[in-house]
A and B are shown apart, each in its own frame.
Chain A
Amino acid sequence: MMNELQVITPEMTLAGLGCLVLLVDVFKREESNLTFWTASLSLVVVCLLVVVWRPDQPVYVFGSTFKLDQVSSLLKIFILITGLGAFFYANYYFEKFNLKQSEFYSLAIFSILGMLVLASAHSLLTVYLGLELLSLSLYAMVAMDRDSKFAAEAAMKYFVLGALASGILLYGISMLYGAAGTLDLIELKTQGMAKDSDLLLVFGLVFVLVGIGFKLGVVPFHMWIPDVYEGSRTPVTLFLSSAPKIAAYAMALRVLGEGLVGLSAEWSQMLTFMAVLSMGVGNIAAIAQSNFKRMLAYSTIAHMGFLLLGFIATSPGGYAASMFYVVVYSIMGMGAFAALLLVVSPNNSDEKITRFKGLSLTNPAASLMFLILMLSLAGIPPFAGFWAKWFVLKELVASGMLWLAVIAVIFSLIGAYYYLRIIKYMYFDSDDGANSSICWSRSVGTVFTVNAVAILFLGFFPGILMSECLKAVLSSIV
């Protein structure tokens, strides 16, 4: 039996190191890069701690408000890895634009702490607090670009809508508490099983689903995504679109798959509606976008809709498929935003999709990596994005929802268009002089290459990650 404090060592370490990053930032020399290195090292240390303390059996501590199991460990590892990648890209961007954005790292660390809390939440109380910690840091990070009107608008929209969604979520949680008399997810599950048609529980569930839908950014709670993604600085968008998605998945899994599994008949109906709309709106609206960030924002909406399909299957295999999907998506999404971050420069910060015209001529290596990421996002074999879709569809068909799988495939086909268009710009169009000055440092080049090669690797060996996901779900979600 592990000591209670030992179980939360990774979180405690991260909180302490977050404070250290704050202090380092105050006392370091103006021009040094110490904040970035401390922050990155913190994530590495915490990631190692999570790996070392991977349990075989679920461990409940602190009045079972905290649950350490294989699902949480696996999700935490990927949250930390994507966070680390985002730090490297952010450092490159801040250096290139000569910005002093040191609070970025400390806020991002606290946001990651919120994600870790969410990944191991085992009470609606910790779900809510983890979510608030995560979102509050993100609001500030979006607003950090103070001189930009777009960023102010984005931050305002994100904050107001996010606060509204939090309020609605909290109202739903209060209803669930009123109906079940408990915040503990396991007790909630037994209560939900006992009286499966309790109207009050369903009433609470609807509001909780709104909160989850907002965090994942699925239609009809997606309005904030394009504006926030476009308005915030590229490294913030990059961070926003990677690790928090894993945390949102964790939240959905904890609340729906664990706590309210007795109401799966109700929530899978609502999720079907949300998933189909997201895939439709996301994929079709993305075609019309001329801004690269906006296009990826709609692509995120479509991908999150696809992710929900795994939940609709309501089987351990379905949850595992969604988990695979979210991990692969966060790595791909990070890489796609990183591609934009590589081409923009202080002289030309144009973020149009036509920016990638003729990139293969000026920077063949970068465009090859970008090609891998785009093909993977489009879901073309043998890249990881294909397998992510494949596993979800397989579970969907296995649970007898063939029509939903067909709709998903049709929308994915529509979606492939706008990813392939970028590839066309890169390889078949000539450069109109915009990209002549692309330079990338060796360090960020390495990170970008690792990012793309990871997708390639997962594409050739999807079984490694998938079997881990399945093992984790089977051992944790009973």
Chain B
Amino acid sequence: MSFEVIVFYLFAGLTLTSAFLVIVVRNPVHAALSLILCFFSSAGLWLLLEAEFLAIVLVLVYVGAVMVLFMFVVMMLDINLAEIRKGFLKYLALALVVVAPMILIIGTVASSSYFDMPRYSAAVKQVAGHNNTYEIGKELFTKYVWPFEIAAVILLVAIVAAIALTLRTTRQLKNPNVEQQLSVERDKRIRLVDMGAE
């Protein structure tokens, strides 16, 4: 067993264990932390496949940004565990009825010859100094530039929609209304108060 295979099994085992923990631990904060561990070990798997760009993006975006926000939300919400567990047995039978055929169907397809190893060729080893980030960038801005730009427009729409839906105040323009300024009369600005001599 080469060193690479050992590392693979280490990361793969860690990914599976942490993913399993996400759904079984009682505390939601622990679940979120396990998910972070899961992302970390998946990033390790990407590195083994020489996809260093994806590995780093996974850590930066998911661990750094998404999961931190997730943790905020989980910690801010006061989650009542007893409330969640209530009715577990009641719905278990129904859930099993729904889930069992799904597992059966997906299992039939997934375990058939369509997912056999021989169908997929092994990843090609690149020479030392091969730049994965460079390759992705080149593909993204040549062959896939059209989908890439569409994705940018989707993000723009997301911003516009978020602002349009949350901005509650009536809009106030900062530019002066010239007509209103010119039509101001003396009486509207000055109030003369008769004080009387003392």
A-side residues, CB < 8 A to B, are 8, 15, 19, 22, 27, 29-30, 61-63, 65-66, 100, 103, 106-107, 110, 113-114, 117, 123, 125-126, 129-130, 132-133, 136-137, 139-140, 143-144, 146, 178-179, 198-200, 203
Further contacts, 18 of them, CB under 8 A, given A8-B146, A133-B150, A179-B114: A22-B160, A30-B171, A62-B144, A63-B146, A65-B143, A103-B164, A110-B160, A126-B150, A129-B150, A136-B154, A136-B158, A137-B161, A139-B161, A140-B164, A144-B164, A144-B165, A199-B114, A203-B109
Chain A residues near B149 (CB-CB < 8 A): 15
Query: Do A200 and B146 touch across chains, with their CB atoms under 8 A apart?
Result: no
A-B contacts, 10 of them at CB < 8 A, read: A63-B142, A63-B146, A65-B144, A65-B146, A125-B144, A126-B147, A126-B150, A133-B150, A199-B114, A200-B109
B146-A199 in contact (CB<8A): no
Query: CB-CB < 8 A to A19: which residues of B?
Result: 156
* Most A CB within 10 A of own CB, among B142, B144, B157, B165: B157
Measured CB to CB, the closest approach of chain A to B135, in angstroms, equals 15
User: Which residue from A66, A110, A140, A203 sits with its C-beta under 8 Å from B146?
Assistant: A66
Residue of B nearest to A15 (CB): B153
Quote the shortest CB–CB distance from B143 to chain A (angstroms). 4
Beta-carbon contacts under 8 Å, B106-158 to A: 109, 112, 114-115, 142-147, 149-151, 153-154, 156-158
Cβ-closest 6 pairs across A and B: A140-B161, A63-B143, A62-B146, A103-B164, A200-B114, A129-B150
- In the complex the two chains form, what is the Cα distance from A126 to B149 in whole Å? 11
Chain B residues whose C-beta falls within 8 Å of the C-beta of A133 in the assembled complex: 150, 153-154, 157
Contacts A22-B160, A140-B165 given; does A126 touch B146 at CB 8 Å:
yes
**Chain A interface main SS type:** helix
What's the least CB distance linking A54 to chain B, in Å? 20
Q: How far does the alpha carbon of A460 sit from the alpha carbon of B111 in the complex, in Å? A: 57
Least distance between B106 CB and chain A CB atoms (Å) = 9
B136 to A: closest C-beta gap in Å: 14
The verdict on B193 contacting chain A, using a C-beta distance below 8 Å, is: no
* Chain B residue with Cβ nearest A104: B164
Which residue of A has the minimal Cβ distance to B146? A62
B residues whose Cβ falls under 8 Å from a Cβ of A: 109, 112, 114-115, 142-147, 149-151, 153-154, 156-158, 160-161, 164-165, 171, 173, 175
Chain B residues closer than 8 Å to A179, beta-carbon distance: 114
Min Cβ gap A30→B in Å is 7
Which of B143, B147, B156, B158 has the largest count of A CB atoms less than 10 A from its CB? B147
B150 touches which of A22, A27, A117, A203 (Cβ 8 Å):
A117
User: Roughly how many angstroms separate A130 CA and B146 CA in the complex, as a whole number?
Assistant: 11
CB nearest neighbor in A for B106: A203
Q: Is the CB of A113 within 8 A of B153?
A: yes
Structural contact, A146 and B154, CB atoms closer than 8 A: no
Closest to B165 in A: A143
Q: Is B109 a contact of A129 with CB atoms below 8 Å?
A: no
The answer to whether A129 and B158 touch across the interface, beta carbons within 8 angstroms, is: no
Q: Are A140 and B147 neighbours in the complex by a CB distance under 8 Å?
A: no
Measured CB to CB, the closest approach of chain A to B173, in angstroms, equals 7
* A27 and B173 alpha carbons, distance in the complex (Å): 8
Which chain A residue has the least Cβ–Cβ distance from B112? A199
Q: Within 8 Å CB of A30, what residues of B?
A: 171, 173
Determine the residue in chain B with the shortest Cβ distance to A123. B147
A289 to B44, CA, bound (A): 57
Bound form: Cα–Cα A260–B146 in Å: 23
- Please, which residue of chain B has its CB at the minimum distance from the CB of A137? B157
